[in-house]
Amino acid sequence: MSSPDHVVVMGVSGSGKSTLAKGISTVTGWEFAEGDAFHSEANVAKMRTGQPLTDEDRWPWLEAIGAWISAKEALDESAVITCSALRRAYRDVLCRDRPHVRFLHVTAASELIRDRMEHRPGHYMPASLLPSQLATLEPLQPDEPGVVITNEGTAAAVLDRALAALGIRKDHA
């Protein structure tokens, strides 16, 4: 049996992480988890009021996501999860003792992201936090495990681009 694969779909809020991760999950049959679900109620309340999270707010969240990945690793199961993973230090937490983690950094023009954030129903993250997310973002570096794609075109085209970049065939499942 091959090694498990743990794909963290990363990028700023509104970049299309959830849609893409769900698509990868559907194609591969891997379990999908929404990284936002690992936030504490205090973090969600803070973001809902337009306050950016601090590193101190993020560390427990990142550790919880990492623990979920470790649980999948222990079961030898592949999985896909969303997580903004904006800074290298955050990505380092997710990779620590998890050799099968790789990142899919989803990028898009800030105007497109802002428009998505302003028009998506039921999400707690206001568009007013986009500048702080963009300021915090440290793009994925060549020595990190992962790939970068743009979220341009239809959802199907973006999914195809992501699968190709990750080296996942559509008949993988």
Answer yes or no: is 173 within a domain. Answer: no
The total number of residues written for the chain in this structure: 173
Region of residue 29 (phi > 0: left; psi between -120 and 50: alpha; otherwise: beta): left
CA gap 8, 6 in Å, rounded: 6
Per residue in 43-83, pLDDT (tens digit) is 988 888 888 888 899 999 999 999 999 999 999 999 999 99
Confidence label for 135 from pLDDT (cuts 50, 70 and 90):
confident
Please give the pLDDT value at position 118. 59
Token digits of residue 94: 């997710």
Domain assignment of residue 35, given as a range:
6-166
Whether 1 maps to a domain, the answer reads: no
172 lies in some domain: no
Residue 171: inside a domain: no
Q: CATH no. for residue 136?
A: 3.40.50.300
Query: What is the rounded end-to-end Cα distance, in angstroms, of the chain?
Result: 14
Please spell the DSSP secondary structure of 132-170, one letter per residue: HHHHH--PPPTTSSEEEEE--S-HHHHHHHHHHHHT--T
CB 127 within 8 A of CB 118: yes
The whole-chain average pLDDT of the chain stands at 87
What is the domain count for the chain?
1
Residue 128 domain-assigned?
yes
Number of Cβ within a 10 Å radius of residue 155 = 13
